[in-house]
Amino acid sequence: MDAKTGEHAYSNERTETTMMDTPSVVTKTVPSQVENGTEFWEQTRYKPKTDLVKSLKAGELPSFMEFKDFARKTRRLWLTLAAAIIGLVAAANVWARVAEWARNTRVKRQEQAVATLTPEHLMARCGAAAQDVTKEVYPIAMRRMTYELRGQEKLVFAFSRTMEAKSDWVFLSMDNESRGENFQTTEAKVEAMPCLDSTK
């Protein structure tokens, strides 16, 4: 009986020793695994850079997150630039339309002024002619009015009308007698004689 008792006592002592050793191993192992896992996560997780310019200067290829962060921080600047560009384009478009409208208005005014030109209008706009000669060849009367410009140059305006009563003069042509040049377009006539562009 004593022998059995001794065996049981020895067996219980080993069991107690085993039970005491096991928690100690667990308590030492679990914190180590947690610490190692946290350290691994800290090392491997992405840490975005806040300065895209520094990455470019360092010769590094910026990632999508870096570019996104840069775009977010400079959003107001990009919006301001976009608004300024849109404003400039709109202003240029409006200016072009205004310039085109002004040009069309000027051309129409000049065409009207030349188309309705009479000897009386010519004298009212450009003054008295250096020469004013009228020839009657029945049933038409021809009138030539000569203006001397820039020394030797002479501009000749030709008008005609029928010899019937109350017939109006009709503007026929405008020539540079010194050069033998005929002005065909309204623009050329006004350029040679700017005083024609008038409502008088």
Q: In what order do the strands lie in the sheet with 170-176?
A: 131-137, 140-149, 153-162, 170-176, 181-182
pTM above 0.85?
no
Q: Kindly report, residue by residue over 191-200, the tens digit of the pLDDT.
A: 989 999 887 7
How is residue 24 written in tokens?
């100690």
> What is the reported pLDDT for 94?
93
**What is the pLDDT averaged over residues 76-92?**
91
> What is the reported pLDDT for 26?
43
Burial class of residue 196 in the structure, from the number of CB atoms within 10 Å of its CB (0-12 exposed, 13-18 middle, 19+ buried):
buried
Which range has the worst mean pLDDT, 33-42, 102-111, 115-124, 165-174? 33-42
- Per the prediction, the chain carries an average pLDDT of 76
DSSP summary character for residue 45: S
Q: Using the predicted structure, report yes or no on whether residue 52 has a pLDDT greater than 80.
A: no
Q: Kindly report, residue by residue over 135-147, the tens digit of the pLDDT.
A: 988 889 999 999 9
**What is the pLDDT averaged over residues 42-46?**
46
Contact criterion met (CB below 8 Å) for 155 and 146: yes
Domain map (residue ranges) of the chain = 1-45, 50-115, 117-196
Helix axes 75-115, 64-73, angle to 10 degrees: 60
Burial class of residue 15 in the structure, from the number of CB atoms within 10 Å of its CB (0-12 exposed, 13-18 middle, 19+ buried):
exposed
Q: What are phi and psi of 185, to 5 degrees?
A: -95, 160
